[in-house]
Amino acid sequence: MVSVDLSVDLGEGALPAAQESALLELVTSASIACGFHAGSPSVMRLTLEAALEHGVVVGAHPSYPDREGFGRVELALPPARIAEDVLYQVGALDGLARSLGTSVRYVKPHGALYNRMAVDHECAAAVCDAVRSYGALVLLVPAGSVAVDVATELGVDVATEVFADRAYLADGRLAPRTMPGALVTEPAEAARRAVGLAVDGCVPAVDGGTIELEGNSICLHGDTPGALRIAEAVLSELREAGIEVAPFVS
């Protein structure tokens, strides 16, 4: 049986607590904001509690220090600063998690940092240094990106991620959010993309072609309009296709 993780980015203030809890009933992993682009200690703790209640694996979702731009503005930070900031955020979330009897199991950078890591060898190495120095964590990175090779070279456990609610460029990068159609908000379309990625490792590109992307985890964004309906449709179609939905890391 084909198996894939279904993850969601949460703790970003985009959803009421009840809706975040409803999403956590559907997914197997949750990447939780660590305060630099969104969230706060109290929000982090509440999201961790909800994830623990639903048996969802927890990951840290570190970002550039950019609350005004929601972490989606590129900042020319040097690699050493990136490593420090990632390490700080992972430690903050993991400390709260351990106070609840659980722990962070993986790290997935957010927004502009995530996109930079996908193409910038030095940035990817800085993130890897932070993850490796913290301990036994998996680094979740864009499928087909430079970051996969960098993590492998540096001996960091790595898993790959694809998106059901985002459009892709022909070169395999995510379409910029400023581009029309960059967000996939129709639940049925997101579900079709999820099944195609899980079964065939393929997804349509914005130019009308098809690209190949192999991912351990299919991601949804908590701040995508209609996120709950999208998650329901994706999970339903994955199961209908005979695909097991399970965490990529225990």
Render each residue's pLDDT in the chain as its tens digit; 250 residues: 589 999 999 999 888 889 999 999 999 999 999 999 999 999 999 999 999 999 999 999 999 999 999 999 999 999 999 999 999 999 999 999 999 999 999 999 999 999 999 999 999 999 999 999 999 999 999 999 999 999 999 999 999 999 999 999 999 999 999 999 999 999 999 999 999 999 999 999 999 899 999 999 999 999 899 999 999 999 999 999 999 999 999 8
pLDDT of residue 174: 93
pLDDT of residue 15: 84
pTM score of the predicted model: 0.95
pLDDT of residue 77: 97
Residues 6+ apart with CB under 8 A from 62: 34, 36, 85, 86, 89, 90, 107, 109, 110, 113
Domains of the chain, earliest start first = 3-245 (3.20.20.370)
Residues of 159-196 as b/e, b for ≥16 C-beta within 10 angstroms? bbbbbbbbbbeeebbbbeeeeeebbbeebeebbbbbbb
Please state, in angstroms and as integers, the Cα–Cα distance from residue 211 to each residue in 28, 169, 192, 197, following that order.
26, 9, 15, 10
Please state, in angstroms and as integers, the Cα–Cα distance from residue 21 to each residue in 18, 40, 107, 241, following that order.
5, 17, 21, 25
3-class state of residue 10 by DSSP: strand
pLDDT digits (tens, 9 = 90+) for 186-214: 999 999 999 999 999 999 999 989 999 99
For residue 24, report the phi and psi dihedrals to the nearest 5 degrees.
-70, -15
pLDDT of residue 250: 81
pLDDT of residue 1: 57
